Amino acid sequence: MIKLTNTWGGQKQLLVPIRPGHIGMYVCGVTVYDLCHLGHGRTFVAFDTIVRYLRFSGYNVKYVRNITDIDDKIISRARETGEIWQMLVARMTHEMHQDFAALNILPPDVEPKPTEHIQQIIAMIERLIQRGHAYITREHDVMFSTETARDYGKLSGQNIVNLRSGARVSVNTEKNNPLDFVLWKAAKAGEPCWDSPWGAGRPGWHIECSAMNSYHLGTHFDIHGGGSDLIFPHHENEIAQSTSAHDGPYVNYWMHTGMVTVEQEKMSKSLNNFLTLRDMLQQYDGEVLRLFYMTGHYRKPLNFSRDNVDAARSSLTRLYSVCRLACGSPSAQHEQWQARFQQAMNDDFNTPKALAVLFDLARLINQTLVSDPDGAAALAATLKQLGNVLGLLCREPEEWLQSNPLWDQSQLNTIAARVKEREEARQNHEWARADALRLWLEEQGVELEDKGGKTHWKVR
């Protein structure tokens, strides 16, 4: 049975779906005004892994991950670049999909956008007004009244009295309460807008998610996730809106990922340590970054450093080297190893423990290779299958072992040709030529292994 830590209450709880065998899951996605950063990669690899494991465990998962395609940042960036805002959104969405594909993040079942759900957003705001949870200002903004929401602040553990007294009321004199937040923004000159009962305008950020997840998953669903930076105010405000608009419960389990630091410091443009996924994917294979993200528990902070990512690459190379032995059906010990793997993942999707199981298995394979090559090959098939559950080890081992993000196809072809030449020289007993080719290949960062009359090679 799977247990997960519910941010609501902070306790580890048994996963009990609303509908047996089915799970509805919503994760707050990217605001597409710029390239994704390392933190985005961490969050969406984590939830992709969780969805993969839930499906592996037999659940029918409907996974909804939105894209925020209208926002102050999008409007501002479009002005800076001179683009039509829709073109900026389309371009950045394409870039996001490219980066996510490189990390082997599967597409969600539904990827809704606020601009495609204006009707649902307006309907939800109307319902909140009718039920006395929202009001219209003199400027024709629609505000949510936090004083009318039950349990406001419980998700984040915020002291609402302290928040209210510390808020700057002067920020918006139209508010009844400094903690109230906007549901509908009245149109400003030159900004995108849609017609509504309160005049032209556009939705606020928080209402977008509430309207979209209730439309695609119903007003009560199983899991809602996102980065820990969204707990307050975004998810707190989602809860307030959704429970005020609809009777009954909203979300059973709230899940949040920890932040990524860079060399133990918060990632920030002001500190000049802001790293985009695109930057990293030009230096590291996406599967290396995926494994790096899994070396920390999804709920904990994760520190990025070159040493940590290099270690992840070495670890992945070790696993692929063993997978090269895989042949035939999984081992007779498959169920035993799968049980250990599931025990780790059932404990709040503990990927560090699950990876430890894979490395224990890889160690056993290497130990039994000489005495029982067939058994080692079957165990390697088990290793590959379990790695696939995490979205790892999905490529042919040779493809991985012979890959280098700094090489183009021409360089790769040259390396392969030199390896073949050396193999032919050895077969012809041209030892001096073979040694010269080996030296040249080693200088290029290639590691050679001569075994069974054949040469295997990989990037060092």
Residues placed in the known binding site: 28, 209, 234, 238, 269
Q: Which residues are annotated as a binding site for Zn(2+)?
A: 28, 209, 234, 238
CA dihedral of 221, 225, 228, 232, whole degrees rounded to 10: -40
Between CA 159 and CA 208, with CA 250 as vertex, the angle to 5 degrees is 85
Identify the three-state secondary structure at position 165: helix
**DSSP codes of every residue in 45-63:** HHHHHHHHHHHHTT-EEEE
Q: Which residues are annotated as a binding site for ATP?
A: 269
Six token digits for residue 24: 């509805």
Six token digits for residue 194: 């849609």
Yes or no: say if 105 and 43 are a contact pair by the CB < 8 Å rule.
no
The C-alpha atoms of residue 175 and residue 165 are separated, in whole angstroms, by 14
What residues contact residue 233 under an 8 Å CB cut-off, 6+ apart?
181, 206
Identify the three-state secondary structure at position 31: strand
The C-alpha atoms of residue 70 and residue 204 are separated, in whole angstroms, by 9
Identify the three-state secondary structure at position 253: strand
Six token digits for residue 285: 């294979």
**DSSP codes of every residue in 325-345:** T--SSPPTTHHHHHHHHHHHH
Six token digits for residue 173: 């004199």
What's the sign of the alpha-carbon dihedral 157, 160, 166, 167? positive
Yes or no: say if 196 and 184 are a contact pair by the CB < 8 Å rule.
yes
Q: What is the largest CA-CA distance in the chain?
A: 91
Backbone angles phi and psi of 46, in degrees to 5: -60, -50
